[in-house]
Amino acid sequence: MPAVIEYPDKGEDTMELIRIPRIMQDTCRKHLQKGRSIGFVPTMGALHDGHLSLIRRAKSENDIVVASIFVNPLQFGPSEDFASYPRVIDEDTIKLRELGIDVIFIPDNSLMYPPGFSTYIDAGPVSEKLCGQFRPGHFRGVATVVAKLLNLISPTRAYFGRKDFQQTVVIRRMTRDLDINTEIVVCPTIREEDGLAMSSRNRYLSAGERAAATVLFRAMSTVSDGLQAGGTSISELKKNLISEISKEGLITSIDYASIYNPETLEEIKESGQLKEVLVAVAVRMGKTRLIDNLIVNLT
Amino acid sequence: MPAVIEYPDKGEDTMELIRIPRIMQDTCRKHLQKGRSIGFVPTMGALHDGHLSLIRRAKSENDIVVASIFVNPLQFGPSEDFASYPRVIDEDTIKLRELGIDVIFIPDNSLMYPPGFSTYIDAGPVSEKLCGQFRPGHFRGVATVVAKLLNLISPTRAYFGRKDFQQTVVIRRMTRDLDINTEIVVCPTIREEDGLAMSSRNRYLSAGERAAATVLFRAMSTVSDGLQAGGTSISELKKNLISEISKEGLITSIDYASIYNPETLEEIKESGQLKEVLVAVAVRMGKTRLIDNLIVNLT
């Protein structure tokens, strides 16, 4: 097997667990100096099939695969679910080992944000739309931790799910603007059979909420069909989207639900020259906040 | 000569001039993959002996030396001297070639800040003291461009002059917080024979102003002597510092002149347990703003 011959120090069944940022950095530097490409999948753990699809893609495109599990305090607001966010490290580690990744990075908060830490990255207007309006500081926290992880790991490619669409726009903006030498690869949203986008936060849902949550994909699909069929105005489609979601009694509130320019994240009134548009929603069901989106091809 | 044998593709008298960020990044990556260390000296050009001392230090400690010349618009305020900042690229290039550096990077504005650029790095409280109070946004511009340059060049070590003391604090904070894998080396301020700190902005001074500017080093030296001799209170020393500088009629105004904690940049009332203190001044002489500082060892 060529992989074994090429990297004799790396057996097929070994996965390195690293907790110290400096050691992570040294390890990756050694791989890069040997000319190996590194694929990186940053996660907050509680891994589902969406995460695993990113890992498989990373494995297929790189010599070395690194995954991180870090529930990043910087991207949670004071009234958000940082404390209750699901933490199932043992379960996650087994899944990653089964997929045969090379390195799992699980840093301590105290090493990621030591006393005196005070540097933040702001990716500008794309951070302030959509979820940014409802989660102030969230994307600043995301941009900052992702920059740190990319600097520690120097990946050739980093993999993100399209479910967090705005996050991918922020990270692309940030890496491009700061000349970070990593290709950002955005992978399709993975859905349950009934259409619900996989998310670690789905664990929060009661059985009733879980069933009700399918309204998001249904309502967005109706918009998507309408956009592709033509003949219905954008403002009519938006109205229908909100009305269909609102009909579901277990939805407590709608943060946003509309149609956007996928590059600027600005709400659109007509599709104009756009080849693609973004249908995106964020709702609350009790204490749980759910987001989802579809990219609709108009050509 | 070992350097020639080791790197046969690199003659002693060749210096590569690179203008395209992406090419700069590829060039440096190749050096790093060959196991070569890179020393980097970022400048805004109009090179003086202070810059050249950084280059010599970089040459003595690294396999490859890269210098950049880039007058960074992001660090100038709207009423500052961006347009008039001295630009003498040909003169600078000759100096760098004579010192035998490997690569000179002179990027265009439009490639460093293409349309849509919107990401900024804020290094927190250390950006807001001293010069930060008088040049809002300055250190945000410095942190952002330095992060970009470090991501493009991936230097093993980057060299900065102590004359811009606050800049070195901001950059150390930023590189540490963002896990940028570069050692920040801070080198002594180089002075003219009469004590004036070398600065590209000294070119702005009339003969009279040039003579008057020596008051800064004289006044700071008096404070330094007083601190080391003991017996005079910090508040008395501060008062004397301002009074001595004020006596010089060509000094238009004093932005600040005091004694600070060199880590936090906070003004101090007593030296307490500090092993070193920072004496720092910023003044205006007509249209020219001059800064200088001394680190005083108290042990």
For range B134-153, the mean pLDDT: 98
Per CB-CB distance under 8 Å, the chain B contacts of A27 are none
Q: Is residue B194 part of a domain?
A: no
A151/B179 CB distance under 8 A: yes
Residue B202 to chain A, least CA–CA distance (Å): 32
Q: Is A210 on the interface with B (CB under 8 A)?
A: no
Query: Same domain, yes or no, for A24 and A88?
Result: yes
**Reported confidence tier of residue B31, pLDDT bands at 50, 70, 90:** very high
Q: Is residue B195 part of a domain?
A: no
When scoring B40, B68, B119 by the number of chain A Cβ atoms within 10 A, the one with the most, hence best to mutate, is B119
Which residue range is the domain that position B210 belongs to? Answer: 200-297
Query: Same domain, yes or no, for A159 and A260?
Result: no
Which tokens go with B235?
């508040």
Indicate if the pLDDT at residue B214 is higher than 60. yes
pLDDT in tens, A47-94: 999 999 999 999 999 999 999 999 999 999 999 999 999 999 999 999
Query: Same domain, yes or no, for B55 and B119?
Result: yes
- Which residue bears the tokens 């930023």? B174
The number of distinct structural domains making up chain A is: 2
Residue B20 to chain A, least CA–CA distance (Å): 12
Query: Same domain, yes or no, for A181 and A240?
Result: no
Predicted local distance difference test score (pLDDT) of residue A12: 55
Residue B258 to chain A, least CA–CA distance (Å): 24
Q: Return the CA Rg of chain A.
A: 20
Query: Same domain, yes or no, for A47 and A114?
Result: yes
pLDDT in tens, B67-91: 999 999 999 999 999 999 999 999 9
CATH number, position B134 = 3.40.50.620
**Domain stop point among B187, B214, B237:** B187
Indicate if the pLDDT at residue A3 is higher than 80. no
Predicted local distance difference test score (pLDDT) of residue A282: 98
Query: Same domain, yes or no, for A225 and A173?
Result: no
**Chain Cα centroid distance, residue B261:** 19
Predicted local distance difference test score (pLDDT) of residue A271: 83
Predicted local distance difference test score (pLDDT) of residue A192: 98
Q: What is the mean pLDDT of chain B?
A: 95
- Which value, to the nearest 10 degrees, does the dihedral of the CA atoms of residues A37, A41, A47, A48 take? -80
Name the β-bridge partners of A170.
none
A120/B121 CB distance under 8 A: yes
Query: Same domain, yes or no, for A64 and A181?
Result: yes
For range B32-49, the mean pLDDT: 96
Q: Which pTM was predicted? A: 0.94
Q: Is A125 on the interface with B (CB under 8 A)?
A: yes
A177/B21 CB distance under 8 A: no
For range B118-147, the mean pLDDT: 98
**Chain Cα centroid distance, residue A228:** 26
Q: Return the CA Rg of chain B.
A: 20
Predicted local distance difference test score (pLDDT) of residue A299: 87
Tell me if B181 sits within 8 A of A151, measured CB to CB: yes
User: What gap in Å lies between CA A22 and CA B169, rounded to an integer?
Assistant: 21
Q: Is residue B192 part of a domain?
A: no
Q: Is residue B115 part of a domain?
A: yes
Which tokens go with A237?
């489609």
Indicate if the pLDDT at residue B288 is higher than 70. yes
Please, what is the Cα angle at B135 between B129 and B140, to 5 degrees?
80
Predicted local distance difference test score (pLDDT) of residue B13: 64
For range A215-229, the mean pLDDT: 97
User: What gap in Å lies between CA A254 and CA A251, rounded to an integer?
Assistant: 7
CATH number, position A230 = 3.30.1300.10
Q: Is residue A217 part of a domain?
A: yes
Query: Same domain, yes or no, for A10 and A152?
Result: yes
Tell me if B174 sits within 8 A of B147, measured CB to CB: yes
B33/A33 CB distance under 8 A: yes
The neighbour count for residue A85, using CB atoms within 10 Å, is: 18
Predicted local distance difference test score (pLDDT) of residue B14: 86
Predicted local distance difference test score (pLDDT) of residue B264: 96
Nearest to A125 among B29, B118, B179 (CB): B118
Mean pLDDT lowest among A13-27, A162-176, A203-217, B9-23: B9-23
Predicted local distance difference test score (pLDDT) of residue A14: 86
Query: Same domain, yes or no, for A173 and A248?
Result: no
Predicted local distance difference test score (pLDDT) of residue A13: 64
Indicate if the pLDDT at residue A246 is higher than 50. yes
Catalytic residue among B31, B48, B51, B138: B51
Q: Is A23 on the interface with B (CB under 8 A)?
A: no
Q: Is residue A271 part of a domain?
A: yes
**Reported confidence tier of residue B272, pLDDT bands at 50, 70, 90:** confident
A122/B125 CB distance under 8 A: no
B33/A35 CB distance under 8 A: yes
Q: Is B147 on the interface with A (CB under 8 A)?
A: yes
**Reported confidence tier of residue A6, pLDDT bands at 50, 70, 90:** very low
Nearest to B147 among A29, A154, A178 (CB): A178
Nearest to A118 among B144, B147, B173 (CB): B173
Query: Same domain, yes or no, for A83 and A215?
Result: no
Q: Is B238 on the interface with A (CB under 8 A)?
A: no
Nearest to B177 among A25, A118, A124 (CB): A118
State the complex-level ipTM: 0.94
Q: Is A115 on the interface with B (CB under 8 A)?
A: no
For range B146-172, the mean pLDDT: 98
B178/A147 CB distance under 8 A: yes
**Domain stop point among A187, A215, A241:** A187
Nearest to A119 among B21, B118, B174 (CB): B174
Indicate if the pLDDT at residue A11 is higher than 80. no
Told to judge if A51 belongs to the known catalytic residues of this protein, a careful annotator would answer: yes
Query: Same domain, yes or no, for A17 and A124?
Result: yes
B124/A123 CB distance under 8 A: no
DSSP for residue B130: T
For range B29-37, the mean pLDDT: 94
B122/A122 CB distance under 8 A: yes
B121/A125 CB distance under 8 A: no
**Domain stop point among A156, A187, A218:** A187
Query: Same domain, yes or no, for B283 and B206?
Result: yes
CB pairs under 8 A between A and B: 82
Indicate if the pLDDT at residue B3 is higher than 50. no
Q: Output B270 or A18, whichever has higher pLDDT.
A: A18
Q: Is B33 on the interface with A (CB under 8 A)?
A: yes
Q: Is B178 on the interface with A (CB under 8 A)?
A: yes
A121/B179 CB distance under 8 A: no
Nearest to B177 among A29, A119, A177 (CB): A119
B120/A124 CB distance under 8 A: yes
Among all residues of chain B, which has the CA nearest to that of A121?
B121
Tell me if A223 sits within 8 A of A244, measured CB to CB: no
Buried b (16+ CB within 10 A) or exposed e, A109-124: eeebbeeebebbbbbb
Residue B107 to chain A, least CA–CA distance (Å): 13
What lies within 8 Å, CB to CB, of A5 at 6+ separation is: none
Burial of A10 (0-12, 13-18, 19+ CB in 10 A): middle
Q: Is residue A35 part of a domain?
A: yes
Q: Is residue A216 part of a domain?
A: yes
Predicted local distance difference test score (pLDDT) of residue B10: 47
Nearest to B123 among A119, A148, A180 (CB): A119
